[in-house]
Amino acid sequence: MRQVRVLDVLIFAMLMMLSTPILVWSHGFAGKRFFPTTLTIDDPFVSDELSFQFDYIKEPGEVVDSPTKVTVISGEYSKTITRSLGVSIGGEFRHLNPDEGKTENGFGNLELGAKYQLFTSAPHEALLSIGLDVDLGGTGSRSVGAESFSTLSPVLLFGKGFGDLPEAMNFFKPLAITGRLGVDIPTRSKNVTTHMLETNGANTNEVDGEPVTENIAEIEREVEYNPVVLSWGFTVQYSLQYLQAFVKDVGLGAPFDRMIPLVELPLETCLNRGCGGRTTGTVNPGLIWFGKYLQLGLEAAIPINDRSGKNIGVRGLVHFFIDDLFPQSLGRPIFR
Q: What is the pLDDT of residues 238-256, one digit of tens each?
A: 999 999 999 999 999 999 9
- If one compares 198 and 130, the residue with the highest pLDDT of the two is 130
Question: Is pLDDT above 80 for 205?
Answer: no
Pairing of the two strands 29-30 and 33-34: antiparallel
**Across 274-293, average pLDDT:** 94
pTM: 0.84
- CATH 2.40.160.40 correct for 6-189+227-325: yes
Residues of the chain with CATH 2.40.160.40: 6-189+227-325
Which of 121, 29, 45 is CA-nearest to residue 88? Answer: 45
Give the number of C-alpha atoms closer than 13 A to the C-alpha of residue 254, restricted to the C-beta side: 11
Please say whether the beta carbons of 316 and 298 come within 8 A. yes
Please say whether the beta carbons of 256 and 285 come within 8 A. no
Please return the burial class of 182, using the count of CB atoms within 10 Å of its CB with bins 0-12, 13-18 and 19+. buried
Distance CA 276, CA 228 (A): 9
- What proportion of the chain, given as a percentage, has pLDDT over 70? 85
Average pLDDT, the chain: 88
Please return the burial class of 77, using the count of CB atoms within 10 Å of its CB with bins 0-12, 13-18 and 19+. middle
Is the alpha carbon torsion for 166, 172, 174, 177 positive or negative?
A: negative
Which of 317, 259, 262, 309 is CA-nearest to residue 284? Answer: 262
Distance CA 286, CA 298 (A): 6
